[in-house]
Amino acid sequence: MSYIINGYENKRVFEIFEDLCRIPHGSGNESGIADYVERFASGLGLECHRDKTGNVFIRKGASAGYENIPAVLLQGHMDMVCEKNAGVLHDFERDPLDLFVEDGLLGARGTSLGGDNGIAVAMMLALLETNSHPMLECLFTVEEETGLAGAKGFDCSLITAKRMINLDSEEENTVTAGCAGGVRTEISFNFDKVDLESAREAVEIKISGLAGGHSGADINSGRSNALVLLSRILQRAGEEQKVWLCSVFGGGKDNAIAREGSAVVLCEDAEKLRGDISDEAICIKRELCSLDAGFEVSFGTQSVTSCFRLKDTKRILGFMSLVKTGVLKFSNDIKGLVEYSRNLGIAETNGNKVRLTLSSRSSLESQIDLSCRELAALAALVKAKSKHYSRYPGWEFNPQSSLRDEYLNTYESLYGTRPEVVVIHAGLECGIISSKTEGLDIISIGPNMYDIHSPAERLDLRSCEKIWKVLETFLSRK
């Protein structure tokens, strides 16, 4: 087997990670990775459990001399967000990722990388091969990215450790000590379309070139949402003439900021519509952050035989325009921390049905309740149905943590600086696991990763080396 990553101390970690990248493992398709993890455990002669949800749990006894050191639970998820650029021919169900290294960063050509959270899986497996540690319990979960189903379905009574290190963070110089909870909401429109007497040429509008990103970690970065911008330009066009929506598509994951979107519409004057939309696009471009400098609106044509009625078009576009998205509230207690947000992640049309999927996050359960009520009320006003699902709890900050102190001290002893302790707006499985495991002391760590959940995702290899060194040193201390 040949590997492209060379020249780093933690060579074994990167070999395992490259192995994982050869195995398709989008959310709901983790069985190949789970098979790999099971074979790995079997090769080491370790206790291994695979549950009906698809999670894998491995236990390895303490090394000689470490029997009296408290056990540690290591945890990460096996699934990745599958995003690719328009025009990229990649089948996430079958194809291996096309990896490359540039300037010390690992990426995948045209697609997301899955460093979130494949690097955790690789580090956990590599640590199981070491022989200077207390008892290790390793939990590899499924479907984290689509609702944390793996953590929800796992029988936490198997866990005996009272210290847990989650490896699903993306900043080396921070230690995460709390996170937001969240819920997903589906808004569905089911309006009868009008059949046209004959096929007509409709205008196709496409938005592309936006940065996208994680709907939690990047929600306050100023990145624009393609679906929000799409509704804006269509509303502008509808002020000047009648516009009938035929279809709308965009986004790929509710927990990713939509990078691309498209709509097909009939109108009274196609040339004027293109002009009005182009004028609005110029205004939008002036407003965008530098990350979205590639923003572009393009036009095409499409033959259609039906469209939504004018009143139903206004209802669909009205919801997309009026729903509040992005940062809704910052924390009163922690400067700069997003407390409450919402993301419009997916739009898709299937015959007479239009479905929108949103993700709401907050560190306060009351605000998640509020978001559900707001979305249900707005949906009712435009004669749509709302469904809330995949709700998960937040992870409350604990001001006293011996595990956190030990990790901070280890990092500082190696590198001379002390990581910052943070609470994040993104969701982690820590909240679910802690709610089912009494007295669990938890931290979340990880190497530097950039633009996760997007084709621009990059993994910092030198940072991985440092995190590995901290983990290895931390676990080997007596």
pLDDT for residue 396: 85
Q: Which range, of 101-105, 225-229, 390-394, 439-443, averages the lowest pLDDT?
A: 390-394
What number is the average pLDDT over the span 425-454?
A: 93
Q: pLDDT tens for residues 172-193?
A: 999 999 999 999 999 999 999 9
**Stretch 55-68: mean pLDDT:** 97
333-344 as b/e: b if 16+ CB within 10 A = eeeebbbbbbbb
Amino acid letter at 254? D
Scanning the structure block, which residue is given the tokens 């592309």?
208
Question: Measured between alpha carbons, how far is 316 from 235 in angstroms, rounded to an integer?
Answer: 11
Q: What average pLDDT score do residues 2-24 get?
A: 96
Per-residue confidence (pLDDT) for residue 332, from 0 to 100: 87
Q: What is the 3-state secondary structure (H, E, C) of 199-263?
A: EEEEEEEEEECCCCEECCCCCCCCCCCHHHHHHHHHHHHHHHCCEEEEEEEECCCCCEECCCEEE
Sign of CA dihedral 447, 88, 252, 338: positive
Reported confidence tier of residue 333, pLDDT bands at 50, 70, 90: confident
Helices (H) and strands (E) in the chain, counts: 11, 23
Which is nearest to 168 in space by CA: 221, 119, 219? 119
Of 101, 117, 107, the closest CA to residue 84 belongs to: 107
User: For position 258, what pLDDT does the model report?
Assistant: 96
Q: Which helix (H) or strand (E) holds 405?
A: helix 402-415
> Which amino acid is residue 222, in one-letter code?
G
User: Is the per-residue pLDDT at 305 higher than 90?
Assistant: yes
Q: For residue 454, what pLDDT is reported?
A: 87
- Residue 31 burial (CB count, 10 A): 15
Query: From residue 468, how far is each of 126, 399, 409, 445 by CA, in Å?
Result: 10, 26, 15, 11
Q: Is-above-0.75 flag for pTM?
A: yes
Indicate whether 453 pLDDT > 90. no
Asked if 79 and 143 count as a contact pair (C-beta separation under 8 A), the reply is yes
Per-residue confidence at 335, pLDDT binned at 50, 70, 90? confident
Q: What is the pLDDT of residue 255?
A: 86
- Rounded distance, CA 56 to CA 67, Å? 24
Q: Which amino acid is at 295?
A: F
Chain position carrying tokens 């002020």: 239
Kindly report the backbone phi and psi dihedral angles of residue 422, in degrees, each rounded to the nearest multiple of 5, phi listed first.
-130, 160
Task: Give the closest residue to 53 by CA, choosing from 126, 139, 124, 128.
Answer: 139
- Per residue in 110-155, pLDDT tens? 999 999 999 999 999 999 999 999 999 999 999 999 889 999 999 9
The 3-state DSSP class for residue 118 equals helix
| Among the listed residues 155, 157, 164, 145, the one whose alpha carbon sits nearest the alpha carbon of residue 51 | 155
Is the pLDDT score of 386 beyond 90?
Answer: yes
Range 355-364 average pLDDT: 94
* Buried-state track 11-26, b at ≥16 Cβ within 10 A, e below 16: ebbbebbbbbbebbbb
Residue 309, φ and ψ in degrees, nearest 5: -65, 160
Residues 292, 269: Cα–Cα separation, whole Å: 30
Looking at residue 418, what is its pLDDT? 97
pLDDT interval class at 473 (50, 70, 90): very high
Pairing of strands 353-362, 174-176: unpaired
pLDDT of 363 reads: 85
pLDDT of residue 376: 98
CA 270 to chain centre: 37
Show which residues are catalytic: 79, 144
Domains and CATH numbers, the chain: 11-179+395-476 (3.40.630.10), 183-392 (3.30.70.360)
Q: Which two tokens stand for residue 214?
A: 């994680």
pLDDT in tens, 391-435: 999 898 888 999 999 999 999 999 999 999 999 998 899 999 999
Q: How many CB atoms sit inside 10 A of residue 378's CB?
A: 17
Measured CA to CA, the distance from residue 437 to residue 435 in angstroms comes to 6
Single-letter amino acid, residue 2: S
Averaged pLDDT for residues 212-238 = 94
Helix (H, G, I), strand (E, B) or coil at 153: helix
Lowest mean pLDDT, pick from 78-82, 84-88, 295-299, 417-421: 84-88
Q: How far apart are CA 353 and CA 188, in angstroms?
A: 7
Rounded CA gap, 197 and 327, in Å? 45
One-character DSSP codes across 372-394:
HHHHHHHHHHTT-EEEEEEEE--
Burial class (CB in 10 A: 0-12, 13-18, 19+), 50: middle
What is the distance between the alpha carbons of residues 224 and 212, in angstroms, rounded to a whole number? Answer: 7
Q: Quick one: which H or E segment has residue 50?
A: strand 47-50
Say if residues 316 and 308 touch (Cβ distance below 8 Å): yes
Considering the chain, what is the average pLDDT of its residues?
96
Q: What is the pLDDT of residue 226?
A: 98
pLDDT for 185:
98
